[in-house]
Amino acid sequence: MKNRASSHLFVLLLIIFLTATAHYAINYAALIRGYETSWLSGGRNLFLLFILTILPLFLTRFTRFQGNWSLYTTAVLLFSIGLTVQFRLFNDLEYASRDRKAEARQAKIKTQQEHYVQENYSAEKKQMMGMPATPPSPVDLSKEAPRPASDTFFDVLISGRTLYPLLGIILMFVAYVLMKRDRILDILQKNGFLIVLVTLGPLMLAAITSEAGKSIGNMTPWEPSKIPFLIGFAAVLAVLYRKLMHTYWGIPRAQDVVPLMFMAILPFIPFFVLKDFGQMLVFSSVYITLYLIAVRRLPQRIVFVGSVVLLVVVLMLSALPSSVQVKVPLLSTLAEPVKTILPPRIHQRFHLWFDALNPPPPDTPFWKGDLADFYWKQYRAELISRKPETQALYNELGKIESNKNADANAKTRAAEIRKELKQIASDDIAQMHELTREVSVPDEEIPADKTVIERTQAEEQDIHETKERLRALNEEAWFGDDALQASRATFGISSGGLTGRGLGLGYVELIPVADSDYIYAAIGEELGLFGGLLVTFALIVFVSAGVRTALDARDMFSKLCAAGLTAFIGFQALVNIGGITRALPMTGITLPFVSHGGFSLVTSFVMLGMLLAISHRNAVDARIGNGEKK
């Protein structure tokens, strides 16, 4: 497609039409299942796309934009796909509700059963069931009474699904206007280190006060930190890249590489506190990409790439599940020193990657804490029967949780009780595991007369029941918690096949956080392989346009910024899609422009605005170089 605004405007209008058609299909599928979708939220989605459609006219007329429109159009395409999937999910009460999921599920089941009976049962069967004796006939949805949508105009207006995209669009335009100016770029390049330090303080505070990887409610305010960290690293690298060419056996001088390493390590500190393996992986990939762009000498690149590959291989082999390591002679022994220093979350992710359908043993370090949590929360009566002292703890905890006006001391006490219950549950599981562990006696220790100690039948039966109970508990906890998302996402993509189940006709509501981390699984189930390939193709076009923008940049700082912004979006998409399809470990990061995310979506739009500005600058420079007027 030629880089004309009119051509891309036609594509944007086509995106609006297809999105409206998809929303209608979702509403029709919802009627089949007995509920209506919200026309307010559907209208909101089309209004957001309308804003993005007329924005190119504004950019062309008032800012004389001359950059690559493919960046913008593919981002809008991805955004429209995300809006469509979110519309499907958040209109389904089984997914969106917190306390009425079971009720919504039963209502959908009942509606579909009634439809099946009407379409397939004979008049005699219907009469036997106490229904009107009518012949089989198609269901007339216009005569149905579906559950109406409960959204109001005010609810939709103040929803995060309205405010965050609007904020992202506004900040995209602001970033575009600012990054066009030479003065702004000079300020960013000269103050890169200061920008990183100013960012690090609030980020560390948010990381320390976070809970379960979330802060300020259920948000991730550290997402925007990618931009200042990238600017800081690019600023330092733009100054040092010529000095990095002075190497000894492909290794730069310490005085040149130490400042760069310091800037590269800073972002990993808060993300290590957050135990965010995904963000660390993305940052590593981006920084490696920028370094390879900046250095020019082949020996230097060979040494660097070789070192990175060696490090990755060592870490991957050390993080492999024990069930995989034992298949390779000496691997378990060699990997043990590194394995002990890796965070438990990484071991969990690798187990989900390689052996998700087999729960780890109850005494596995990364798993036993989650297993104990599941035990004391889900099987209160059983734990009380085995450990009577927990009865008083449960009663005290219940009183505190039922008191809505509990003070700080009461909340602290509640946290102590939960910790104590978890420890008791962990000890009980350890005792059960030790009791049921099969212990073999070496042959040389067996007495000469082959005498063995026989257990009584009652004791053997008790041990067998305990072993079966522990196995069932371990499997239920694993597939009900850690492996729940991965397994349902895998089954969902598999059931989608080539063309998918159809919009609104799948069971994506059963996938936890299907609107965010696992949105690609929802796309794969309802749109099939073709839908997944559409997303992948759009991302490839976006990254290709971003790479072209970086190649055309006139100075090293702009080149590194464009490459870094493109790499952030590209690698984040790669890690997300790779994790869902189990080509990579699942890391829990969002899919750019597609996933429902507050700060994540805003950050993606700001990155888009920066890329558009750099692309525009490149085009203006090229025209000036050709002797044309600016």
3-state secondary structure 217-280: CCECCCHHHHHHHHHHHHHHHHHHCCHHHCEECCEECHHHHHHHHHHHHCCHHHHHHCCCHHHH
Q: Give 176-189 as a 3 state SS string.
A: HHHHCCHHHHHHHH
Q: What is the pTM of this model?
A: 0.89
* Locus of tokens 């100054």: 239
C-alpha distances in Å from residue 472, one per residue of 366, 433, 482: 19, 13, 15
**Amino acid in position 77:** L
DSSP 8-class letter at 35? B
Pairwise CA distance, residues 351 & 327, whole Å: 15
pLDDT score for 52 = 96
- Beta-sheet strands, E only, within 351-435: none
Q: What's the sign of the alpha-carbon dihedral 398, 399, 402, 408?
A: negative
Pairwise CA distance, residues 414 & 409, whole Å: 9
Burial class (CB in 10 A: 0-12, 13-18, 19+), 513: middle
Cα 140 from chain centroid (whole Å): 40
Pairwise CA distance, residues 553 & 238, whole Å: 13
pLDDT score for 539 = 96
pLDDT tens digits, 256-296: 788 888 888 888 888 777 777 888 889 899 999 998 888 87
* Backbone dihedral angles phi then psi of residue 599, each to the nearest 5 degrees: -65, -30
pLDDT tens digits, 106-158: 999 999 988 898 889 988 888 888 888 888 888 888 888 888 888 889 999 99
Pairwise CA distance, residues 4 & 333, whole Å: 61
* Locus of tokens 């063309």: 499
DSSP 8-class letter at 478? I
pLDDT score for 286 = 92
Pairwise CA distance, residues 535 & 362, whole Å: 39
Which residue ranges in the chain fall short of pLDDT 50? 439-444, 446, 448-452
Helices 598-625 and 226-240: crossing angle, nearest 10°? 40
pLDDT score for 216 = 62
